[in-house]
Amino acid sequence: MTERQHAAYGASNAHRWLVCHASIKEAAKAPPRPSSRAAREGTAAHALLEHCLKTGVWDARPYIGQAIDPEFPIDDMMARGVNTCLDLVWRILAENPGAELHVENQFEIPSLAAPGQVYGHCDICIFVPSNGWLIVIDFKYGYDVVDVKGNPQCLHYGTGAFFSGRFQNVQALTTWICQPRAYGTGVTEYHTYSVQEVYDFYARVEQAVADSKAENPTYAPSRERCKYCPANTTCAAARSAALVTFGFNDVKQVGEAVIPAPQDVDIPTMAHVLAHADMLRGWLDAYETHAKELLLQGVFIPGQKLVEAKQNRAWHGEEEQVAAALMRLIGLTWDEVMPRGLIPVTEAEKLAVDAYKARAPRGQKMEAAKAAREALAFLTHKPKAPTYTMASESDPRPAVNPVKQMFAGVVPSSSS
CA dihedral 210, 213, 214, 219 (to 10 degrees): 90
Distance CA 24, CA 44 (A): 27
pLDDT one digit per residue (tens) for the chain, 416 residues: 444 567 889 999 999 999 999 999 999 988 887 788 888 999 999 999 999 999 999 999 999 999 888 889 999 999 999 999 999 999 999 999 999 999 999 999 999 999 999 999 999 999 999 999 999 999 999 888 889 999 999 999 999 999 999 999 999 999 999 999 887 667 889 999 999 999 999 999 999 999 999 999 999 888 788 888 888 888 888 877 767 666 666 656 555 555 667 787 788 878 877 877 777 777 778 878 888 888 878 888 888 887 776 667 777 878 888 888 888 888 878 888 888 777 777 777 888 888 888 888 887 888 888 888 888 888 887 766 667 777 767 777 787 776 676 666 666 666 54
Distance CA 175, CA 194 (A): 11
Residue type, 33: R
Q: Do 32 and 127 sit in the same domain of this protein?
A: yes
Question: Which residues face 174 on adjacent strands?
Answer: 135, 192
Phi, psi (deg, nearest 5) at residue 102: -125, 120
Q: Do 68 and 185 sit in the same domain of this protein?
A: yes
Q: Do 41 and 134 sit in the same domain of this protein?
A: yes
Q: Do 20 and 144 sit in the same domain of this protein?
A: yes
Could you give the 3-state DSSP secondary structure of residue 176? strand
Q: Do 65 and 201 sit in the same domain of this protein?
A: yes
Q: Do 352 and 245 sit in the same domain of this protein?
A: no
**274 within 8 A of 266, measured Cβ to Cβ:** no
Task: Mention every residue, 6+ apart, whose C-beta is less than 8 A from residue 343.
Answer: 351
Q: Do 58 and 107 sit in the same domain of this protein?
A: yes
Give alpha helix (H) positions in 115-265.
152-162, 195-212, 223-226, 236-243
How many domains is the chain partitioned into structurally?
3
Distance CA 406, CA 232 (A): 45
Nearest partner of 151 among 23, 18, 15, judged by Cα = 15
Residue ending a domain, among 165, 190, 212, is 212
Could you give the 3-state DSSP secondary structure of residue 126? strand
Distance CA 163, CA 46 (A): 25
Q: Do 111 and 193 sit in the same domain of this protein?
A: yes
Give alpha helix (H) positions in 213-344.
223-226, 236-243, 267-296, 319-330, 334-337
Q: Which domain holds residue 241?
A: 223-296
Residue ending a domain, among 296, 313, 334, is 296
Q: Do 141 and 260 sit in the same domain of this protein?
A: no
Q: Do 157 and 117 sit in the same domain of this protein?
A: yes
